[in-house]
Amino acid sequence: MEKYLSKRLQGLAESQTLAMNQKTKDLQARGLDIVNLTAGEPDFFTPAHIKAAAKAAVDANYSFYTPVDGYPELRRAVADKLRRENGLEYRPEQVVVSNGAKHALANAILSLVDEGDEVVIPAPYWVSYAELVKLAGGRPVVVRTSFEGGFKMSAAQLAAAITPRTKLLILCSPSNPTGSVYRREELAALAEVVAQHDRLFVLSDEIYEHIRFEGQHESIAQFPAVKDRVVLVNGVSKAYAMTGYRIGYLAAPLWIAKACAKLQGQLTSNASSIAQRAAIAALSGDNTPTREMVEAFRRRRDLVLRHLNDMPGVRCGTPPAAFYVFPDVSAFFGRRDGSTAIGNDADLCLYLLDKALVAGVPGSAFGEPTCIRFSYATSDELLEKAMRSMKKALSNLT
Ligand code: PMP
Ligand code: GLU
């Protein structure tokens, strides 16, 4: 009967990150001692003051529908945060609160992309961008970037990818899966190209803003020539270890924010009232717990890199942000261990799962088949264990 599914759904791929995470959890539940490095979420608990706000919200009967675009206090907290931390001026009416940053991205894409519109997506990209674009009837135009170039798209590459049909550019800085970050001058150069094209908009995914080990966060929205064509997306999932709360937001020109709220009003209504109260506490409270998490991520990144750089055949840069490493493992393609032959990234992931009991996500899920993504958002002990067994398994590939 599946042939009766809408064409839209028949063409939609499952989220590979969520699928790999679930598959690994299923294997663990069956008793396999696997170290799960697929999951893109902090392993920490939500900070105490945020949990307290959620509990207080239950007792204070925040149980009714909220405005579709979120409580005014939360939209004000977002506008205040954007001014305080990013130097960006947005009015609360320009903010729409959604069920996670993923939902905010979907709202923006469905509001801007028409049938046949082209959307420029630099690869490696996060898994959901291209699928959401296809869902909107748009055509992803993937621009491949290089290991040597830090996996970043240059202004020249952007200019070459633009056609009269290009409607949107999706940027993710800091990046999932590479952890790379666009510097201010690099964003300025991209903004200059965007400014030359009247119908070109930018969707700027900044969800890893706070998981950063050096420098300060830079948003493409800071450039006046393009600010009225940028949709900035962020949320509380990563910075405050609140993935399950499902609160994300966008800030955009008013006409886009209004369109996103209209769409959301038909699809899901408001995001959870309790989670919104918790998000107000997160955005306006003390950031010390976030800083502590970032220090732990830095320590773990260094631990993982020490091991990876000690594995012949593995090539890995030093990601300045997020909690992923994205090593190039293409040196192993064409090698074998007994009867097991490694042809590509998916084979290598399966091999590591089987022989090293380590789970990662094949780079092809992110548009870069020479690599594998490992999340290091897990304990130092488990990371040590995973890296040791990975080294051993890889050394058996000849
Ligand atoms: N963008 C990127 C790059 C992500 O890694 C994630 C994590 N799932 C999201 C958006 C979505 O985050 P949220 O949990 O807020 O929906
Ligand atoms: N962002 C996370 C990841 O990339 C969570 C999974 C998802 O939302 O797709 O693993």
Please give the full DSSP string across 312-354, using - where no structure is assigned. Answer: TT-B----SBSSEE--B-GGGTT-EETTEE--SHHHHHHHIII
* 241 shares a domain with 109: yes
Task: Give CA–CA dist 263/258, Å, rounded.
Answer: 9
Phi, psi of 327 (to 5 degrees): -70, 145
* CATH number for the domain harbouring residue 300: 3.90.1150.10
- Closest residue to atom 3 of ligand 1, CA basis: 176
Task: Give CA–CA dist 116/119, Å, rounded.
Answer: 10
* 300 shares a domain with 268: no
Domain membership of residue 52 (yes or no) is: no
Separation of 207 CA from ligand 1 center, angstroms? 6
Q: Could you give the angle at the alpha carbon of 290 between the alpha carbons of 175 and 95, nearest 5°?
A: 65
Separation of 318 CA from ligand 2 center, angstroms? 21
284: three-class secondary structure by DSSP: helix
* 110 shares a domain with 244: yes
Domain membership of residue 218 (yes or no) is: yes
Separation of 234 CA from ligand 1 center, angstroms? 8
Domain membership of residue 107 (yes or no) is: yes
* 293 shares a domain with 257: no
Q: Which residues line ligand 1 (CB under 6 A)?
A: 40, 100-102, 126, 172, 176, 205, 207, 235, 237, 243, 248
Contact between residue 321 and residue 239 where contact means Cβ atoms under 8 Å apart: no
- Closest residue to atom 10 of ligand 2, CA basis: 40
* 324 shares a domain with 190: no
Two structure tokens written together for 261: 């709220």
Two structure tokens written together for 119: 């959307």
Residue of 232, 211, 236, 212 whose CA lies nearest to 220 = 232
Residue at which a domain ends, from 260, 284, 308: 284
Separation of 225 CA from ligand 2 center, angstroms? 32
**CB neighbourhood size of 380 (10 A):** 13
Domain membership of residue 366 (yes or no) is: yes
Domain membership of residue 54 (yes or no) is: no
Domain membership of residue 177 (yes or no) is: yes
Residue of 235, 234, 166 whose CA lies nearest to 202 = 166
Residue of 197, 203, 194, 143 whose CA lies nearest to 172 = 203
Separation of 22 CA from ligand 1 center, angstroms? 16
Separation of 98 CA from ligand 2 center, angstroms? 16
* 204 shares a domain with 116: yes
How many structural domains does the chain have? 2
Task: Give CA–CA dist 123/184, Å, rounded.
Answer: 20
* 140 shares a domain with 218: yes
Please return the burial class of 286, using the count of CB atoms within 10 Å of its CB with bins 0-12, 13-18 and 19+.
exposed
Residue at which a domain ends, from 240, 256, 284: 284
Q: Which helix (H) or strand (E) holds 368?
A: none
Which ligand 2 atom minimizes the distance to the CA of 375? Answer: 10
Separation of 338 CA from ligand 1 center, angstroms? 39
Contact between residue 228 and residue 200 where contact means Cβ atoms under 8 Å apart: no
Contact between residue 394 and residue 313 where contact means Cβ atoms under 8 Å apart: yes
Query: Tokens 């998490």 appear where?
Result: 293
Cα–Cα separations (whole angstroms), residue 342 to 20, 122, 161, 223, 352: 19, 27, 33, 46, 11
* 297 shares a domain with 215: no
Residue of 294, 210, 285, 249 whose CA lies nearest to 48 = 285
* 323 shares a domain with 308: yes
* 85 shares a domain with 159: yes
| Choice from 22, 98, 102 to test ligand 1 binding pocket (greatest atom count within 8 A of CB) | 102
Query: Tokens 């519109």 appear where?
Result: 117
* 33 shares a domain with 146: no
- Residue 92 structural domain: 62-284
Residue at which a domain ends, from 228, 256, 284: 284
Task: Give CA–CA dist 228/387, Å, rounded.
Answer: 46
| Choice from 23, 41, 105 to test ligand 2 binding pocket (greatest atom count within 8 A of CB) | 41
Per-residue pLDDT of the chain (398 residues; tens, 9 = 90+): 889 999 999 999 998 888 889 989 998 999 999 999 998 899 999 999 999 999 999 999 999 999 999 999 999 999 999 999 999 999 999 999 999 999 999 999 999 999 999 999 999 999 999 999 999 999 999 999 999 999 999 999 999 999 999 999 999 999 999 999 999 999 999 999 999 999 999 999 999 999 999 999 999 999 999 999 999 999 999 999 999 999 999 999 999 999 999 999 999 999 999 999 999 999 999 999 999 999 999 999 999 999 999 999 999 999 999 999 999 999 999 999 999 999 999 999 999 999 999 999 999 999 999 999 999 999 999 999 999 999 999 999 99
pTM higher than 0.85, yes or no? yes
* 183 shares a domain with 34: no
Q: Which ligand is nearest to the CA of 237?
A: 1
201: three-class secondary structure by DSSP: strand
Domain membership of residue 55 (yes or no) is: no
* CATH number for the domain harbouring residue 219: 3.40.640.10
Domain membership of residue 50 (yes or no) is: no
Long-range contacts, stretch 86-89, CB < 8 angstroms, 24+ apart: 86/217, 86/219, 86/221, 86/222, 87/222, 88/219, 88/221, 88/222, 88/227, 88/232, 88/251
Q: Is 17 in the pocket of ligand 2 (CB under 6 A)?
A: yes
| Choice from 126, 181, 231 to test ligand 1 binding pocket (greatest atom count within 8 A of CB) | 126
| Choice from 23, 36, 105, 127 to test ligand 2 binding pocket (greatest atom count within 8 A of CB) | 127
